[in-house]
Structure 1
Amino acid sequence: MSDIQSYKQTPKYETFSYLPEMNADQVRRQIAYCIAQGWNPAVEHSEKENAFGHYWYMWKLPLFGEQSVDAVLAEIEACHREYPNQMVRFVAYDNYAQSQGMAFVVYRGR
């Protein structure tokens, strides 16, 4: 239990931010899960000081119907290269519920 972070120590941004940061394999598995659910992946970015707001900038359009985890990871990396000082998050949109099925920060910026 000592790996769980205190809310007062670090700001929390998304669902998984209360847990230790995910490694590359864990990120890959979460993306694979979203694709298997039929959710549409998307990549968003924001300045760290604006990350608590409701508006993040969309990196391109959502990847409608994308079935490749590698293609999604490539878009996340491209966004991070373009905006290295900003936070980058993965979002999966659920068409059926018409909402986000999952969202988590992949890069927390510098």
Structure 2
Amino acid sequence: MSVMQDYPSRLSDPGSRKLGTFSYLPPLDATQIRRQVEYIVAKGWNPALEHTEPEHAASHYWYMWKLPLFGETDVDRVLAEIEACRQANPGHHIRLIGYDNIKQSQGTSMVVHRAPVAR
């Protein structure tokens, strides 16, 4: 049996906060992010981006980056939007969402850029 690991995440320390399932893993590299976008597109989901300041990342409200990319099938266009959002908001975390039209919900959601947090 494996040993359960404790993650010392605290509200008082924005750098320690976990932001969804993937945040317990090492940060995704460019290839892994591309694979996630490919998965979203292959499922027919609509990609969307949200961003927020690190100190507000635990909030339910994140700012929407433009409108969701309805019907987008070009992975490179989605990746370009992630980069454009990062360039426009260098101090923000960025979250990629795949909206499922059939179930009317988020099919997936993950942080694809985590801004450095001043301590």
Q: TM-score, normalised by structure 1?
A: 0.91
Aligned partner of 1:41 among 32, 36, 47: 47
Runs of 4+ off more than 6 Å = none
Where in structure 1 are there 5+ consecutive unaligned residues? Answer: none
Q: Does 1:23 align with 2:29?
A: yes
Superposed CA RMSD = 1.2
Report the counterpart of residue 13 of structure 2 in structure 1. Answer: none
Greater Rg, structure 1 or structure 2? 2
1:7: which partner in 2?
Answer: 7
Out of 60, 64, 83, the position equivalent to 1:54 is 60
**What do the CA deviations read for 1:50-102 (whole angstroms, capped 9, x no partner)?**
11111100000000000011000000000000000011111110111111111
Query: Identity rate of aligned residues, in percent?
Result: 58
May I ask how many residue pairs the two structures share in their alignment?
Answer: 106
- 2:55 aligned counterpart, secondary structure: helix
Q: How many Å apart are 1:6 and its aligned residue?
A: 4.5
Q: Residue 100 of structure 2 corresponds to which residue in structure 1? A: 94
2:78 matched residue in structure 1: 72
